[in-house]
Structure 1
């Protein structure tokens, strides 16, 4: 590289806004690590996020799964579309799209998530529900939620018993 080219490259790099470097930093974080930077536990996203985009200036984000993701947790059924979008700020996600919960016989869109001390609040618009934050320290798995180890153990015991 010729000397004038190096100077031009140097001048170009120092003239870039600092936010460009911050965005590059975020691109190296996983979606789960980015959530933690905004004071959220990793367990509000299921295992299997394959990528995300985040505009730090506005908080607008998109997270991507390889397909839709459904699983039970307690008496609820949750569904994540392959693209989840919203606006994130410390302790708050608003304008959430792509996540729904089955309550009784109806699917309701979760539109807001708030981390408030030792609880997480999930809003479907007019109604909301609070859950202890320690329920979200681990990410659920598509298909089986948190009961996967139990299912794997059952499948293993079936294999073992069928081999006898």
Structure 2
């Protein structure tokens, strides 16, 4: 009787120490790195802040320093009012509701390109700063990720009209 009890205990101990196929799948699922779009959500920003096609990112959670990497530079128009340009690497600092010291994102204002240097979340609006001027937009304008080359109007599909105004970057903030 003692022998069978000892055998049973050994089987239980061994079965607990050996990884089962379901627990290793759960572990690998939990170990997956979130996407750059999911990281934006963690900091209270919509995924449409970045265009489709981000191939990687880095984030230092202690300082907030981040980089998002695209497969080359990217530009597109939004609603016929704005031309945006992303370099192959977008860098800056991220914290709850704030992207600061941005590098790699530009908007065309009249005839010149200016860098977007900061984005703040203010309730249901996003406020973009180009240094001396800024503009605010409803956050629901950024629910979808734009696509390089065609923005939100790709493949002949027109996006429903949004609340993007013609160039508000001309007024100072």
TM-score, L = length of structure 1: 0.75
Q: Where in structure 1 do 4 or more consecutive aligned residues deviate above 3 Å?
A: none
Q: Which of 122, 145, 148 is the aligned partner of 2:128?
A: 122
Number of residue pairs matched?
Answer: 128
Q: Which of 36, 58, 62 is the aligned partner of 1:57?
A: 62
Question: More helix per residue: 1 or 2?
Answer: 1
Residue 63 of structure 2: SS of its match in structure 1?
coil
Deviation at 1:149, TM superposition (A): 3.4
Q: Deviations over 1:54-105 (max 9, x none)?
A: 0000000000000000000121100000000000000000000000000110
Q: Residue 90 of structure 2 aligns with which residue?
A: 84
Q: Deviations over 1:29-67 (max 9, x none)?
A: 000000000000000000000000000000000000000
Q: Which of 95, 105, 129 is the aligned partner of 2:101?
A: 95
Q: Which has the larger radius of gyration?
A: 2
| Aligned-residue RMSD, C-alpha | 1.6
Residue 28 of structure 1: SS of its match in structure 2?
coil
Deviation at 1:150, TM superposition (A): 1.6
Give 5+ residue unaligned stretches, structure 1: 1-23, 153-164
TM-score, L = length of structure 2: 0.71
Q: Which of 7, 26, 34 is the aligned partner of 1:29?
A: 34
